[in-house]
Structures are given as C-alpha cells and as structure tokens.
Amino acid sequence: MSSSSPSAVLFDLDGTLIDTADDLSACLNILLAEEGLETLPHGVIRKQVSNGANAMIRLGFGQLQDERAQQLRQRLLVHYENNIAHHSRWFDGLEQFTVELKQAGIPWGIVTNKPRLYTDLLLNAMEIDRHVDVVVCPDDLNISKPDPRPLLHACEQVSVDALQAVYVGDHIRDIQAGRAAGMKTIAAAYGYIEEGDDINLWQADYIIQQGTELKSLLKL
C-alpha cells in the first residue's frame, strides 16, 4: 500500500464485511425440509452464498425448469426476509475498523450485488445503516459487479476520486470491478471462496487472511 491512507474504503457485503452464511444456509435448509429433501451441511452452502439465490437453489435442487426454480427462489427469499439477521455477524476486526475509519475522517461504504431490499433489512437489523457513508446495490443503477460503475458511483457519492479508494471483496468479480474502476483491490481470503477457486489468480493488489489485517495494511 502507498505511504498514505486511502481516501475511501469500500467493501463487498456478504462474505467480506458481514458473515451472512449461517442465515442463508438455514433458509435453504428450511426450504429443502419443506420439500422433503435432506438438508445440506452449512459448510457446503457457505461456498455458494456469494453467488446469490439462484446458485443456492441449484445447489439444493439441481437443474430445474425456470418456472420451478423461480418459485423455489422466491420462497427462499421470503424465508430470508423473515430471518434476515439471526446469525449474521461482522467478520473479525471489521466493526472496529469502520469505527477507526470514521475517527480518521475516511468515508467507508458497501458496494454489493445483494438486492436493495435485503441489504437494507440486514443493515438496519445490525444497526449498520446509521454508520455507513454509502451503500450501492444492483437495483440502484440496474448494473452489477464486475461492472465498475457501482464502485464509481459510490466514490461520487462520497466525493472521492476512485483512484484514491480501496475495494475489499471475496470474489473475483469484486477484484475485476475494483481494478476496472482504477482502485487498489484487496481479496478477502476468509470469505466465501468456492472449491477450486484460486484467489492468487484474481490479480488483487493484496490478499488478507482476516479482517484484522486491514488497519496495518491501510496505514491507519
């Protein structure tokens, strides 16, 4: 990292800032049980969480006709809406790190592919909404990562040059989006990394094994 601190720090949400996997996997297992199927180990579901509801339905039910898949997806999302933050928690060190960013006068935000409805419910339930400086969801611009525009929009919202910002994420699309936006990128190896996915090939500027590494890396 350069000798000075970044002008803004942006995070992916699920698997990077907040560990939501237990809530999401519990909802998939509720749905599987309703359908008379065996539930799956949380560790298996965890690796698919970053890929969204459609990927979780494929994991639990295999390839289905579109209409059936969408019906199950909608039921999964209703379960999630009703159980949004029972087990979700900050990844180690990151709640305190966002406090330290505030104290240093550095804006921080979230750029996620999670729909606005569930993002807002989660941030409200965890009382994060009152502290975060900017949140960008795919619904806001009708575009998702790896397109860099959500990241550029977040920087505009906090009046920061993207070239002076940092993006932290746990999926290759996060790193692709950050690089395309001209940001420094940090890959979160503690996140929801799929089996066989080599984080070293993502071309992130840095890789961290835990959130507690960010303070020293970003020179706060």
User: Cα separation of 179 and 3, whole Å?
Assistant: 20
Write the single-letter amino acid at 18: I
14 is catalytic: yes
Nearest to 13 by CA among 165, 200, 174: 174
CA distance 134 to 136: 7
For residue 112, give the DSSP letter.
Answer: -
Dist. CA 156–CA 220, nearest whole Å: 23
The widest CA-to-CA distance across the chain, in whole angstroms, is 57
To the query of whether residue 140 is one of the catalytic residues in this protein, the response is: no
Coil, helix or strand for 61?
helix
Three-state DSSP state, 168: strand
Task: Copy the structure tokens of residue 27.
Answer: 């909802």
Task: List active site positions.
Answer: 12, 14
